[in-house]
Structure 1
Amino acid sequence: MDLANLNAFIAIAETGSFSGAGERLHLTQPAISKRIAGLEQQLNVRLFDRLGREVSLTEAGRALLPRAYQILNVLDDTRRALTNLTGEVSGRLSLATSHHIGLHRLPPLLRAFTRTYPQVALDIEFLDSEVAYEEILHGRAELAVITLAPDPHALVKAVPVWDDPLDFVAAPEHPLATTANVTLADIAAYPAVFPGGNTFTHHIVSGLCEAQGLKPNIAMSTNYMETIKMMVSIGLAWSVLPRTMLDGQVARIPLPGIQLRRQLGYIVHTERTLSNAAKAFMALLDAQADIAKAAAVH
């Protein structure tokens, strides 16, 4: 089975179009069509239904997709295992991370890594933590540094690095910030701006409210913490932000007896052979986790 044809098949399945696959693989649309025709001829099945501009997987295409991922992952795994025998830390490291962690946690580690291992080509993709999680599961990223899922998948190894306390916040002049003895019920009555409903942070806050029979009044939604902070600072809504982001622009709303926190860390696929580059970056993250634990003790 031709690997170039398989890559074209996966690209169409993921982008939903032949033109999108061509852009991803830097090929013309006729070249993509030729590869799919070759694959369909080899397998003697039709893989896509083409209805006007719409492209969808046939039953055979849906059956092939997970096997195509598996074939390419095994090949990549074999290449990494052979490359690792040299002991060199080089090659390409595909790293997925959230915007918040990439901006606020990773820069010192990335700086140290690139200085220590200049032969490694870093391929960094900024994604929502939940999307990065799927990238690891499907083998499209080797390592992800994200907000950890409360219940990780059985095929995912999750390692905490940073404990990330979360605080309820509002603009300094907001009634919630200027009133004493505010309760969760008081907060829930005002408009809120939350991360998207599919995010781990959203589930943490919603779960707390639901446990007390409350439903947040979510007026706006965005997955960018910096945007949430801006919306809070101008008085549009309250929200929950990592404590590390608090400054004079927003005011913390203390709730006695309530402390929210999430774990930030890295994940890898348990059945994937890790490159020497990934192992070296994980060692930096493990060292950072030890520093964070020591600081918490003192």
Structure 2
Amino acid sequence: MDTQSLQAFIAVADLHSFSLAGEQLHLTQPAISKRIATLESQTGAKLFDRINRRVGLTEAGRLLLPRARQILQLVEDSRRQLTNLSGEVRGSLTLATSHHVGLHRLPPVLKAFTQAYPDVELNLRFLDSEQAYHGVLSGEIELAVVTLAPQPNPQVESIPIWVDQLRFVCAPEHPLAGRGSLSLADLVDYPAVLPGPLTFTRDIVVDAFTRAGLAVEVALSTNYLETLKMMASIGLGWSVLPQRMIDGEIVALEVAHPAIVRRLGYLVHTERTLSNAGRAMIAELETARLSLD
């Protein structure tokens, strides 16, 4: 099996599309089809079914997929180990970050890194924290700087750098504004606008209400905190946002509850060999962390 055919196979499996896989790998659809055909010939098994224009894995394809990921990760790890022997900081670095962290926390780190290591080709991906987390687990992403999971997977090393204190907020004209001290029970009388149901931040917030025996009515949700701020500011519901995002457009509520926090930091797979570029990026992140102490 050649690595190019395995890359094509994984891309088609992930995207459920030969054409989208071609776009991702910068290849034509016929080239992707040829690589899949080569792999099917080598394995002696059909790997994909096409049903109603949807591409799905066969039983053989499902069996091969995790092994294909492992093979490519081993090849990439071997390549990194050989490259690392030179001590040079160059090559490519696949770094994932969430939109909020990428906008509000990461720019000084990226600026320092790119100035110090101009020979590194930075492949920066903006993903939801949860997607980035799975990308690190699968080996697709070398390093991620995101919201850390409340209960991390033991295969992922999670290093906190920043702490966001989350505040309950609403529009200045919202009925909750100006009421003084509030309880969590006061909030559930009104609809909320919160991050999506599969996000770490949503889990942290909802868990606080669940522990108090309360259920939150979520009117609208989005994974973009800047959009949540807009929706709260025009009165669509109360929300929860980092302290640093509060300005004249929204009002911070005084809620009688221990501070709710989320931790932001970087993720690496515990069994992955980091490139010299990855190590250099972590050094910049550690410098940022130490500057906050």
TM-score, normalised to structure 1, is 0.96
Deviation for aligned residue 1:258: 2.2
- Structure 1 residues 95-134: aligned runs within 5 Å: 95-134=95-134
Tell me how far apart the structure 2 counterparts of residues 262 and 209 of structure 1 sit (CA, whole Å).
16
Aligned CA-pair RMSD = 1.0
**Segment of structure 1 superposing worse, 258-267 or 48-57:** 48-57
CA distance in 1, matches of 2:213, 2:78: 52
CA 1:252/1:10 → structure 2, altered by over 3 Å: closer, same or farther? same
Counterparts of 1:119 and 1:237, CA distance in 2:
47
Deviates more, 1:50-59 or 1:122-131: 50-59
Q: Distance in 2 between matches of 1:277 and 1:143?
A: 10
Residue 232 of structure 1: CA displacement? 0.8
Q: 2 CA distance for matches of 1:209 and 1:182?
A: 14
What is the Cα deviation at residue 180 of structure 1?
2.1
**Aligned AA (2:122):** L
Report the residue type matching 1:199 in the other structure. Answer: T
Q: Which residue of 2 aligns with 1:201?
A: 201
- Residue aligning to 1:221: 221
Cα offsets for 1:168-197 (capped at 9, x unmatched): 001122111121222111111111101000
The answer on 1:286 being equivalent to 2:280 is: no
Q: Which runs of 5+ in 2 are unaligned?
A: none
CA distance, structure 1, for counterparts of residue 33 and residue 119 of structure 2:
36
Cα separation, 2, equivalents of 1:72 and 1:257: 48
Letter aligned with residue 227 of structure 1: T
CA offset digits 1:124-160 (Å, max 9, x no partner) = 1000000000010111111000100011111100101
SS at match of 2:177: helix
How far did residue 68 of structure 1 move?
0.4
Give 1:235's aligned residue.
235
The one-letter code sitting in structure 1 at the alignment partner of 2:221 is S
Aligned-pair CA distance for 1:257: 3.5
Which portions of structure 1, spanning 4 or more consecutive aligned residues, are displaced by more than 3 angstroms? none
Instruction: Tell me the CA shift for residue 289 of structure 1.
Output: 1.4
Q: Secondary structure at the match of 1:177?
A: coil
Amino acid of the residue matched to residue 241 of structure 2?
A: L
TM-aligned CA deviation for residue 27 of structure 1 = 2.1
Deviation at 1:235, TM superposition (A): 1.3
* Residue equivalent to 1:139: 139
Letter of the 2:126 partner, please give it: F
Alignment of 1:243-262 (within 5 A): 243-262=243-262
| Structure 1 counterpart of 2:219, one-letter code | A
- The farther-off stretch of 253-262 and 162-171 is 253-262
- State the identity as a percent: 58
Q: How does 1:168-207 map to 2 (within 5 A)?
A: 168-207=168-207
Match for residue 272 of structure 2?
A: 272
Q: Which runs of 5+ in 1 are unaligned?
A: none
CA contact (8 A) 2:180 2:254 kept: no
Report what 2:69 is aligned to.
69
Pair 1:23 & 2:3 matched: no
Equivalent position of 1:38 in the other structure: 38
- Structure 1 CA distance for aligned equivalents of residues 285 and 24 of structure 2: 31
